[in-house]
């Protein structure tokens, strides 16, 4: 307006310092509109304590919550060609990438980490929505491939956590090619006899939903997450009518048979651990470890054997002969009981 506002005010502001009141102490819930204090948000793993709305959660925080004691190892992802099409719209794609990298501190929209959930080793491939809307380009494809290979190598289940608007347009046809590529990735996990679980978070749409995200052995979704193929606007323009209430939400997809479970964030750890146990212990039961085989053979022949030949890290596979309990040898059993999955004796 004049020199007072243009010059003096900024000077004063610079002197006094605006940083006295951080602007992120309070968050407004996008669903109920109530204010949430940042500590509450943190304590509730980014779920609104007023209405239960699941806000987006930074990846680091999600990992901390999911993995035992918040301990996990991120793996380095393969390099990909930067900007293969030399794409530019209003901005250069390379600039958009740099901005996103600076903003999010991740190389691209996917992070792959491994660790344990209630004692069970898992590999997680999770999307970072902050990185260009979690869009899927070459880097994401490589990330999924790396994750699946790691899972196969570790004989661990793969958990994919998409949060993505779909394909990365700036990579053109190469982004479309990530649909078959990620499909191949999860296929490798399934063919290795390992569980592939998808935990869909807001949003899971477009090319991501139409490829690996919908190919899980089990589909879990966060409450309220938007899941679907085409965008709402596109559909509205096509059918020229208002969309049904709750269209494309996790609950809607549950109703229409596309997902198995809607699980709030606070229960996801238990659910995942329980599912993995149920899916993997059966295989273990059919193929007993070599030690057990030796014992069985010995029993048949009535020959005494050394009590405990070393197995691959089964610390407490001792003389515990209860076959049902054997699978739950880790801490998961105790807390599993807490969540209502009480073992029937």
Partner 1 sequence: MRNYLDFEQPIAELEGKIEELRHLSDDGEVNIADEVSRLQTKADKLLRQTYTKLSPWQKVQVARHPNRPHFCDYVEALIDDYMPLAGDRAFADDKAIQGGLGRFRGRPVVVMGHEKGADTTSRVKHNFGMARPEGYRKAIRLMELAERFKLPVLTFVDTSGAYPGVGAEERGQAEAIARSIETCLKLNTPIVSTVIGEGGSGGAIAIAAADSVLMLEHAVYSVISPEGCAAILWGTADQASAVAEALKITAQDLTQLGCVDAIIPEPVGGAHRDIDATMKAAGDAIEAALSKLTGLDAAALIKARRAKYVAIGREGLNG
Question: Annotated binding site for Zn(2+): which residue ranges?
Answer: 29, 32, 48, 51
Q: How far apart are CA 7 and CA 191, in angstroms?
A: 67
Contacting range for partner 1; rule: CB under 8 A; set: 108-116, 117-125, 205-213, 293-301: 205-213
Sorted by sequence, the CB contacts under 8 Å of residue 117 that are 6+ apart come out as: 66, 67, 68, 269, 272, 273, 276
Q: How far is the CB of 292 from partner 1 (least distance, A)?
A: 33
Q: Is 112 helix (H, G, I), strand (E, B) or coil?
A: strand
Residue whose CB is less far from partner 1, 66 or 259: 259
Task: Give the contact letters, 245-284, x = binds to partner 1 (CB under 8 A), - = no.
Answer: --xx-------xxx--------------------------
Distances (CA, A) of 119 to 13, 15, 21, 188, 296: 52, 53, 42, 24, 27
Among 29, 138, 160, 225, binds partner 1 (CB under 8 A): 138
Q: Pick from 216, 235, 239: which is nearest to 226 by CA?
A: 235
DSSP 210-228: TTGGG--SEEEE-TT-BB-
Both tokens of 327, joined, read 């699978």
Residue whose CB is less far from partner 1, 52 or 172: 172
> Is 206 an interacting residue with respect to partner 1 (CB under 8 A)?
yes
> Is 141 an interacting residue with respect to partner 1 (CB under 8 A)?
yes
Q: How far apart are CA 97 and CA 107, in angstroms?
A: 9
Contacting range for partner 1; rule: CB under 8 A; set: 150-158, 173-181, 278-286, 325-333: 173-181
Q: How far is the CB of 69 from partner 1 (least distance, A)?
A: 35
Among 31, 49, 154, 177, binds partner 1 (CB under 8 A): 177
Query: Count of H helices and E strands in the chain?
Result: 15, 9
The site that binds partner 1 (CB under 8 A) totals a number of residues, namely: 55
What residue ranges bind partner 1 (CB under 8 A)?
A: 78-81, 84-85, 87-90, 138, 141, 145, 167, 169, 171-177, 179-181, 183-184, 187, 205-207, 209-215, 227-231, 234-235, 238-239, 241, 243-244, 247-248, 256-258
């Amino acid at each position: 307006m004049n020199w007072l506002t243009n010059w003096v005010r900024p000077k004063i502001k610079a002197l006094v310092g605006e940083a006295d009141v951080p602007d992120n102490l309070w968050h407004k819930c996008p669903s109920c509109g109530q204010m949430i204090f940042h500590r509450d948000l943190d304590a509730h793993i980014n779920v609104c304590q007023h209405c239960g709305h699941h806000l987006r959660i930074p990846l680091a925080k999600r990992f901390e919550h999911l993995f035992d004691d918040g301990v996990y190892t991120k793996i380095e992802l393969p390099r990909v060609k930067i900007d293969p099409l030399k794409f530019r719209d209003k901005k250069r794609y390379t600039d958009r990438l740099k901005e996103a990298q600076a903003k999010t501190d991740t190389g691209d929209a996917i992070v792959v980490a491994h660790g344990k959930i209630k004692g069970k080793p898992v590999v997680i491939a999770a999307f970072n929505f902050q990185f260009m809307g979690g869009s899927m380009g070459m880097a994401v494809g490589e990330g999924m491939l790396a994750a699946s290979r790691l899972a196969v190598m570790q004989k661990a289940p793969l958990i994919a956590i998409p949060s993505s608007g779909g394909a990365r347009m700036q990579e053109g046809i190469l982004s479309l090619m990530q649909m078959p590529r990620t499909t191949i990735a999860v296929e490798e996990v399934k063919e290795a006899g390992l569980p592939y679980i998808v935990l869909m978070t807001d949003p899971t749409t477009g090319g991501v939903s139409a490829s690996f995200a919908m190919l899980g052995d089990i589909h879990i979704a966060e409450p309220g997450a938007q899941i679907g193929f085409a965008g709402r606007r596109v559909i509205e323009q096509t059918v020229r009518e208002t969309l049904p209430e709750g269209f494309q939400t996790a609950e809607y997809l549950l109703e229409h048979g596309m997902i198995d479970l809607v699980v709030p964030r606070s229960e996801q750890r238990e659910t995942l651990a329980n599912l993995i146990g149920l899916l993997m212990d059966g295989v273990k039961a059919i193929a007993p470890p070599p030690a057990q085989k030796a014992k069985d053979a010995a029993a048949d022949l009535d020959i005494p054997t050394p009590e405990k030949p070393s197995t691959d890290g089964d610390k407490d596979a001792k003389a515990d002969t209860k076959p049902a309990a054997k699978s739950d040898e880790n801490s998961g059993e105790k807390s599993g009981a807490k969540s209502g999955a009480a073992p029937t004796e």
